[in-house]
Structure 1
C-alpha cells in the first residue's frame, strides 16, 4: 500500500482510561516513528476517562491528522475499546498497544515490511520487558514462517502484535467484551490457529512492555480461583475445537498447565500468598489436570513441574508447600572464569550451577540414568531427568541498560557431572561451562551505544534462572569497541583520619571504655 491510496499501512489501536502522564511515552514514540504520518494512523479509544485523558487525546488529534480519538462510555475492560478501535481502523494491518507501553522508533516500518515480505497474517515483533516477563525463547532468531508446532508461539499470548485487518474481518476475530480473565488468550489463540502464516521479527526491539508500580497484579486480591479457571477452560475449548487429540494439542494444553497453574503453585510465588487462597487455586487446578489433560501433557514437562502437577492432581497441598519451601531457595551460582576484549570482540568464560540454599541441586546417577532429588516422595518416573540432561544449557545474555534490549550471545557450552562430597554414593550435580563470543560491531544489529550488563541464564530440569555477572561494558557509539566499566573503589580515609581513629581506639581501651 502507498500513502496515495489513502489507506494507511498500519493502524495502532490504543484503549485509554485515566492514563494521566503514563501515556506520554507512547505518544512520543508514535510521533517518532520512521514510518511517515501518511502511512500509519493511531486510533485512541477513550474508555470514558474521568481525568484529563480525553482532553489530552483531543488536543493530540487536533495537531496530528494521522491520530484519531473515539470516545465511548466506560466499559471497565480493554476488550470493548479494542473492538471499537478495529471497527474504526482503516489500516491494512492493526497493532494493539497498551496506553503505557511504547514502540521502538522504527517498529511500525519494520513490522509492516516484514509482514509484506512474508505475506503474513500475524507478525510478532521482539519485545523488551520492563518489570514484566516477555517470551525470550521466541525471540532467539527471526522466524519467517512460525507455527504452533515449530516455534514457541504459544508463549506469546498478549495482544501486542500486528494483525492483517482483512484476516480479522474474514474470521470475525474479536475480543470477548464481557469482563473476564484471559480475554487476550481467547483472541490470540484463535488467531494463531487460523493464521495462514505467522512471522516473528527478532532483530529489532519493536515494543516495550511495562509493569507500572501502581498497576494492580493478578494475585489473591484480584483473582477468584473458580472464575479464573472457568475462563481457562474456555481457552482450552478453543484449542480443542481446532486440533485433534495428539502431540500438538498436548503441547498447547501444556502452556496453560505450566504458566497458569504450576507457576502459581511453586516456590516463592506459592509462599507469599494467603494459605486459604493458594489451597483454592490448587484444588481448581487439580480438577482441570484430572478432567482435561491427556497423559502426554504432563509427560512433556520438566521433572520439577511434573512433580508439582502430580501433587496438584492428588490435591496434596501440604506436599506442594513442602516442595515450595525447598524451591524458594533455588538460585544460580555463577562466576566469570576469564574475559578478553580484542577490538570490538568480547569473549567471556562462565561456570554456573544450580543450588538450593548452600547445597547444589542434587541428582542420583546410576547405570546411565538420572533422577532429581526433591524433598517429597513421588514415583521415580516423575523424578527421572535422563532425557532432560541433554536439554540443559548455559546462556550468556547481554542487556542494554538504557533501552532494556536483551540479546543472547553466541555460546559454546558443555555440562559435566560433579560428585557431591558427603551426599551419598551416586549423587552428583551438574556443572555448566560456557564460552560466549560476540562482536559488538554486530550485536543488537549494530545498535550498541550505551551500557551493557551481562547475565548467566541457566536452563536445567525445569528451572530457567538468571544470575548477574560482575562484568559491565560501555560502548561510546554504535559499533564501538566495548570498554569495561570498573566499579569505583571505595575511598579510604585520609592518613590523618586513620591515625586519629586508631589513637582514639587505643585510648578507649586504656581507659576501659
Structure 2
C-alpha cells in the first residue's frame, strides 16, 4: 500500500489531440474545483498534437504545480494516452476526462468523499449531456452498492468515472490498444463493473458535463466501419459471457448492446441520412450477431419498436426498415398544461401528455399487450408469446437553462385508455407538487424549464411546457412565467430591442 502522505486523492487523466481552445472549459473547471490543488492532480497526455495544444498545456503546467504534461507520438486513439496517464498518475483514485468536457465545481470533492465513505472501487457521477445523450434512469437516485444485477449500470459504459488506482492495477485494467479500437471504453468499463467490490452512483449532484462538439472534432465521431465496430462489440459480449452464466441477467446485458449499438442505428433520421450500402453492411453484421451470439430472450425483451427493428434486420428487410424510419420521424411527445399554481416555495402543475404520430396520437393495439401500430406488417409476435410491454409512462423534468442539469420531479399519473375501434388512444394526466426551495439540494438559482418526458414502446421524447421557473437566489421562492403569454412575449421583444 502506498504510504506517501503527499499522494493526491484524485488524478484526472486527460488525453488531448489538437484540441486548442476547446480545452478551455475543462481547464477553467479544474481551476475552480473545491478540492484543494494539493489534493488532486491533472495528467494531460498529448497524443502527438500538431497545433498549439502542447504549448498551451506546457504553459498551464508551468503555472499550476498539480498540472502535468506527458507527450507521445500520435497513436490516433484515446486508449494509449489513457493508459500512459494511469502509469503517470499518483492519485488514490483516477478519473478519465475528455479534453472538451468539463466538471462541476464540487465534482472531485464529492466523488472522492463518496468513494472514501463507501470504500468504493468505482464511483459513477451524474452527467449532463450537451448535444449528446447521457444515462437518465441510472441517476434517479443515489446508489451506494450498485451492481449490474440491481441497477442500470450497463446504461453507462463511457469511462468518465472515478476508479480506485489499486483496483485498476490489481486486475490489470487498461484500455485496449489492439486492432479493435472502437468501444474500448465499453470493454474496459464492463469488465470493471464485473470485478468491482463496490460501485456507487452519485446522483444528487451533476458532476460531469459531456458534450459533442459542433465541429464534430472528437476522433470517435467519424462514421465507423461496420466489420471493425462489430468485431469490437463481440469482444465486449465475450467479457460478459466469461463472467455471467446464461439466463435473464446475461440476456439483459446483451440487450443493452442490441438496443444501443445495433438497432438504434436503424431508426428515424439516423437511418435516412446514412448511405444505403453502409446500412446494408450494418444490417448484415446485426443479423450475424443475432443468430450467432444472442439467446431468443435478448430480442424478446426489447421494447416493441426495437424488437420490430431487430426482426427486420434479421430478415434483411431493408425497404421496410426505411419505411419504418421515415414514419418514425413524425413520432413526438405532445403535452398541454392543464393548470398550475405557486404557494410559497411549492409549484403544483398538472399536464396532459401522450406520444403522437403524424396528425394525431400514436395508436396501440387493444389486445391487452399495448403494442404500437406500426406501418410495416409481420413484426408483431403472435398472441401468447411473452414480450416486453409497449405501455408508456410520463415524467416531468426540471432542466436548468444554464447548466443543463436535469431533476426528476415527483409525479402522480392517471392513465386514460380510450378505445377507437380496434385500437387504443393512450393519454396520461400527470401532477407534480415540487418544492423549488429544496430542488437540487437547494442549488436553485437561475431559470428552470419544465418539460414532459414521454417514454414507452421504444421511444423517449421530450417536449417543453412553455413554463419557466425563475429563482432569484438559491432557495428563493420561485416565480413561474408562461413563455407564451402576451406579457412574456412583450418582455422578450423589449429585451431584443434594448441598445447593447
TM-score (norm 2): 0.93
Structure 1 residues 327 and 42: CA distance shift in structure 2, 3 A: same
1:468 maps to 2:469: no
Q: CA RMSD in A?
A: 2.2
Contact in 2 for aligned 1:362/1:373 (Cα 8 Å): yes
Describe how 1:78-477 pairs up with structure 2 within 5 A.
78-178=78-178, 180-216=181-217, 222-366=223-367, 368-378=368-378, 380-381=380-381, 392-420=392-420, 425-477=421-473
Contact 2:452–2:462 under 8 Å retained in 1: yes
Instruction: Map 1:53-68 to 2 at 5 A.
Output: 53-68=53-68
DSSP-derived class of the 1:98 partner? coil
Structure with larger Rg? 1
The verdict on how the C-alpha distance between 1:382 and 1:407 changes in structure 2, with shifts beyond 3 A counting, is farther
Contact 2:450 2:464 in 1 (8 A): yes
CA contact (8 A) 1:158 1:188 kept: yes
**Matches of 1:306 and 1:75, distance apart in 2:** 39
How far off is 1:106 after superposition?
A: 0.5
Structure 1 segments unaligned to the other structure (5+ residues): 494-513
**In the TM superposition, what are the counterparts of 1:485-496 in structure 2 within 5 Å?**
485-487=481-483, 488-489=488-489
Tell me by how many angstroms 1:362 deviates.
1.1
Q: Closer, same or farther in 2 for the Cα pair 1:165/1:341, shift >3 Å?
A: same
Instruction: Name the counterpart of 2:8.
Output: 8
In the alignment, the residues of structure 2 paired with residue 314 and residue 218 of structure 1 have an alpha-carbon distance, to the nearest angstrom, of: 33
Shift of 1:54: 1.0
Structure 1 residue 483 corresponds to structure 2 residue 484: no
- 1:28 is displaced (CA, Å) by 1.0
Distance 2:443 2:403 in 1: 11
CA contact (8 A) 1:258 1:305 kept: yes
Given that 2:345 and 2:437 are in contact with CA atoms closer than 8 Å, whether structure 1 keeps it comes out as: yes
Q: CA deviation at 1:379?
A: 5.2
SS of residue in 2 equivalent to 1:229: helix
Sort the Cα spacing of 1:361 and 1:382 in 2 relative to 1 into closer, same or farther, 3 A.
Answer: farther
> What's the CA shift for 1:364?
2.3
| Gap change, CA 1:2 and 1:444, over 3 Å in 2 | farther
Give the unaligned 5+ runs of structure 2. 494-500
Residues 57-84 of structure 1 deviation map (CA, whole Å, 9 limit, x = unaligned): 1111111111111111111111111000
Question: What SS is found at the alignment partner of 1:5?
Answer: coil
Inter-partner Cα distance in structure 1 for 2:386 and 2:453? 21
Kept in 1, the 8 Å contact 2:300–2:387? The answer is no
Aligned counterpart, 1:31: 31
SS at the partner of 1:353? strand
Count of residues in correspondence between the two structures: 487
Which has the higher mean CA deviation after the structures are superposed, 382-391 or 104-113?
A: 382-391
1:147–1:221 CA distance, 2 compared to 1 (3 A): closer
The answer (yes or no) to whether the contact 2:438–2:475 under 8 Å persists in 1 is yes
Distance 1:168 1:31, change over 3 A: same
Q: State the secondary structure of the residue aligned to 1:100.
A: coil
What's 1:505 paired with?
none
Query: CA 1:403 to 1:3, structure 2 compared with 1: closer, same or farther past 3 Å?
Result: farther
Contact kept? 1:125, 1:201, Cα under 8 Å: yes
8 Å contact kept, 2:311–2:379 = no
